[in-house]
Amino acid sequence: MRPSTLLFPAVLAGFVAVLVGYASSAAIIWQAAAAAGANAHQVAGWMTALGIGMGISTLALSWWYKAPVLTAWSTPGAALLATSLNGVTLAETIGIFIFANALILLCGVTGLFARLMKLIPHSLAAAMLAGVLLRFGLQAFSNLDGHFLLCGSMLAAWLMAKALAPRYAIVATLLVGSAVAWAGGDVVTRDIALSVVMPQFIAPAFTFTSLLSIGVPFFLVTMASQNAPGFATMKASGYPLAVSPLIMVTGGLALLLSPFGVFSICIAAITAAICQSPDAHPDAGKRWLAAAAAGVFYLLAGIFGGSIAGLMAALPLSWIQTLAGLALLGTISGSLYQALNLEAERDAAIVTFLMTASGATILGIGSAFWGLVLGGLCYAVFSRRRRA
């Protein structure tokens, strides 16, 4: 078989990985940036910086290790930001990015990642994530009331693709939803242009309340729900790379680009599996080419970040919310399963989930933090009682 014949599936795998990544969560990032008060130009700059950062890190790490190391933004982290940034200034938002990425870099430098994650029971971390994502899952179905044709067609496309070709379920949902929205005249194209938007530097501001109530949960969600599954996916695919160097590279690059809107650069999990599968290349030693191709597509997406932001603004809000909700269903169900699977930790996990999902703000601190606090308290009390 000719090398060009083997190379095409790798390039296609890289393209699909990037397409799925953007289709499943670019809408969530748009919502997070809007919640922070960013204007259209700033959102476009965020997408540019994110694409360039992920492209550089994916290309560099895949080439250096000769392994399919795909990076991504933290989709669960973006969801947490979208639900937590209302009322927070744009400067404070950048301060949160810098704070969280500095903690991630510190974990890589000191090698504390594994030990730090052991301090929080996995069931509580999963329950907090499920509580954060609950609103997005509900939106996937609540929009059926008032937008039945658009959202119903997207739900039907997701259901059929999930049964026939699960890997492309979100791509099918995106295409069908876009076609229905276009046919219904719901797509406003006057602001879409193939443009290059330079990222804008935003001076950070640091407040104790925002760092504690948003920064700490964001850091924990990113490490527990994005980096940890990413490393687990690589190991399961036969690429057990050292953790700390990858954390240092991704965390350091994200910290450097934080003032330009890069909230995280992490080790990818779901999309990485596309590049790490035998479908990408029959030779496991050559699958890094699929990740390298993804890095090139990341760079292209970053260069034209303004067009992606304009596309998000042109599409109806119900389309964005339905796509995001359906894309996160797997994460929500998986988190709930992990949270409630152990009977001994179930009560503490459900307290964490409900407190986080409540959206309550106590003493100016968001519900995700209090979910961990109350759940941790329950966990400690119940564990002590069982030991007694």
> Beta partners for 267?
71
First CA to last CA distance, the chain: 66
What CA–CA distance (Å, rounded) separates 160 from 254?
Answer: 37
Q: pLDDT tens across 119-164, in order?
A: 778 788 788 878 877 888 888 898 888 889 988 999 999 999 888 8
Ramachandran assignment for 99, one of left (phi > 0), alpha (psi -120 to 50 degrees), beta (any other):
alpha
- Who contacts 241 (Cβ-Cβ below 8 Å, separation ≥6)? 65, 67, 69, 231, 234
What CA–CA distance (Å, rounded) separates 371 from 206?
Answer: 23
* Helices 40-65/3-35 angle, 10° precision: 140
What CA–CA distance (Å, rounded) separates 58 from 87?
Answer: 34
pLDDT for res 365: 64
What CA–CA distance (Å, rounded) separates 199 from 112?
Answer: 32
* Radius of gyration from C-alpha coordinates of the chain: 20
Nearest Cα residue to 354 out of 81, 134, 123: 134
> Beta partners for 72?
266
Three-state SS for 365? strand
- Who contacts 164 (Cβ-Cβ below 8 Å, separation ≥6)? none
* Helices 122-142/329-340 angle, 10° precision: 140
Sole residue written with tokens 């699909």? 16
pLDDT for res 1: 45
pTM tops 0.85, yes or no: no
Any alpha helices (H) in 143-269, and if so which ranges? 148-164, 169-183, 208-210, 216-222, 228-236, 243-257
What CA–CA distance (Å, rounded) separates 51 from 263?
Answer: 12
Q: Give residue 45's identity as a one-letter amino acid code.
A: G
Q: What is the pLDDT along the chain (388 residues), one digit of tens a residue?
A: 445 556 877 888 888 788 778 877 787 888 888 888 888 788 888 989 999 999 999 999 999 999 999 999 998 889 889 888 988 999 999 999 999 999 999 999 988 776 665 677 878 878 887 887 788 888 889 888 888 998 899 999 999 988 888 767 877 888 888 888 888 877 766 655 666 778 889 999 999 999 998 999 899 888 877 888 888 778 878 888 888 899 999 999 999 999 999 999 999 987 888 888 887 888 889 999 999 999 999 999 888 866 665 666 677 878 877 877 787 787 788 888 888 888 888 999 999 999 988 888 777 667 877 888 899 899 988 887 776 6
pLDDT for res 362: 77
What CA–CA distance (Å, rounded) separates 301 from 77?
Answer: 20
